[in-house]
Amino acid sequence: MVNITEKIKEIEEEMKRTQRPGAGAAAGTGFDVSKSGDARIALVGFPSVGKSTFLSKVTKTKSEVAAYSFTTLTAIPGVLEYGGAEIQVLDLPGIIEGASEGKGRGRQVISAAKTSDMILMILDATKRAEQRALLEAELEAVGIRLNQDPPNIYLKQKKAGGMKITFSAPPKSLDEKMLYNILRDYRILNCEVLVRDENATVDQFIDVIMKDHRTYIKCLYVYNKIDSISLEHLNTLAHEDNTAVMSCELDLGISDVVDKCWEELRLIRIYTKRKGIEPDFSEALIVRHDSTIEDVCDSIHRTLKESFKYALVWGASSRHIPQRVGLSHVVADEDVVSIVGTKSGLASSTK
């Protein structure tokens, strides 16, 4: 059973670690790369696992590669073109154990990773298996949660009225008393809590309390240097969850890694169509998963939805071909969309 007091102490330590480094320390260190493109992927790993080699393979950017540790000293951005999208790939310095406590440039590296839509954790297939857990622990320590959904727990702080704790189904590892104690330790004395997940844990409940310091990011584990391991070992690695294997040196598996990134990012390509003209399949509009016609309008032009009448949709999201839909319609990958507006000449245009 978790000792709550110990847990709280741990969290307080964590708060100290997650505080942003002083402005002086952050300035001019080359980590403030501005976001560009449709999504950002961060390359995270121990030194010399092949992060820069990978960046140089998948983008036009050349980041210095060498056999010694800490070849890369700042964040180096490159652009990966895929499916009509531009994905920013951020090559980062290697991190070492203790990075979350500020060893090396660990804290800046991890802060940069925290801003990404996806982490590619590059691992050296020739190194011991613990490397993966060690890196995960460093990321966890600054509030990054890999391949997890935010817990299904509702927490609303109030001004008065005490604590109201409800479970939508009998929980397996929590009870009212535990939550009460945790909340009291955080000095949250007036609140409403609804636990909607019967499998919710103490750690997840604390994540909800600490939600301003938590980031939920997808992670693909990529073992590089498979040219130097046995087939048997390769077979084991390749069967781990959320994992891909590659050799940058032999140019093996790289396109598979890129395909997997694309799948995980779940970006959606929309082709726009003007009335009476064939859709333009050469230029896709890229939107996020679960985007609506409203999001599509916004990415075409800021004011387009003001004159929106309806849209016609051909593709996986439409029930008829075409289906006439409103702003709240959720689009699917490779849908063809025609926006019909109140003013003439507004039929969809990407320009």
Ligand X SMILES: Nc1nc2c(ncn2[C@@H]2O[C@H](COP(=O)(O)OP(=O)(O)OP(=O)(O)O)[C@@H](O)[C@H]2O)c(=O)[nH]1
**Interacting residues toward K ion by CB under 5 A:** 48, 66, 71
Closest listed residue to residue 120, CA positions, set 236, 246, 35, 291:
246
Binding pattern for the stretch 14-53 against ligand X, x by CB under 6 A and - elsewhere: -------------------------------x-xxxxxxx
Q: DSSP H helical segments within 159-280, as ranges?
A: 176-185, 202-209, 231-238, 254-265
Cα separation, 135 vs 221, in Å, equals 11
Helix (H, G, I), strand (E, B) or coil at 216: strand
Which region among 70-78, 79-87, 198-206, 312-320 touches Mg ion (by CB under 5 A)?
70-78
Binding flag, residue 52, Mg ion (CB under 5 A): yes
Cα separation, 30 vs 114, in Å, equals 16
Binding flag, residue 56, Mg ion (CB under 5 A): no
Cα separation, 219 vs 138, in Å, equals 14
Cα separation, 35 vs 12, in Å, equals 31
Question: CB 66 → K ion: shortest distance, Å?
Answer: 5
DSSP-assigned beta bridge partners for residue 287: 268
Here the tokens at position 210 are 């600490």
One of 18, 59, 72, 338 touching ligand X (CB under 6 A): 72
One of 10, 249, 256, 283 touching ligand X (CB under 6 A): 249
Binding flag, residue 224, ligand X (CB under 6 A): yes
What, of K ion, ligand X, Mg ion, none, does residue 228 touch, CB below 5 to 8 Å by kind?
ligand X
Within residues 119-148, the interface with ligand X by CB under 6 A covers: none
End-to-end CA separation in angstroms for the chain: 59
Binding flag, residue 317, ligand X (CB under 6 A): no
Binding flag, residue 255, ligand X (CB under 6 A): no
Cα separation, 287 vs 337, in Å, equals 13
Question: CB 72 → K ion: shortest distance, Å?
Answer: 7
One of 18, 72, 272, 348 touching Mg ion (CB under 5 A): 72
- Is beta strand 191-195 parallel, antiparallel or unpaired with respect to 153-157? antiparallel
Largest CA distance in the chain: 68
- CA dihedral for 168, 169, 173, 178, sign (positive or negative): positive
Which region among 34-42, 182-190, 245-253, 291-299 touches ligand X (by CB under 6 A)?
245-253
Closer to K ion by Cβ: residue 2 or 66: 66
- Are 7 and 202 contacting, i.e. CB atoms less than 8 angstroms apart? yes
Applying CB under 6 A, what is the total number of residues that bind ligand X? 24
Within residues 73-112, the interface with ligand X by CB under 6 A covers: 93-94
Helix (H, G, I), strand (E, B) or coil at 285: strand
Which region among 61-69, 165-173, 263-271, 300-308 touches ligand X (by CB under 6 A)?
61-69
What residues make contact with Mg ion under the rule CB under 5 A? 51-52, 71-72
What residues make contact with ligand X under the rule CB under 6 A? 45, 47-53, 65-67, 69-72, 93-94, 224-225, 227-228, 247-249
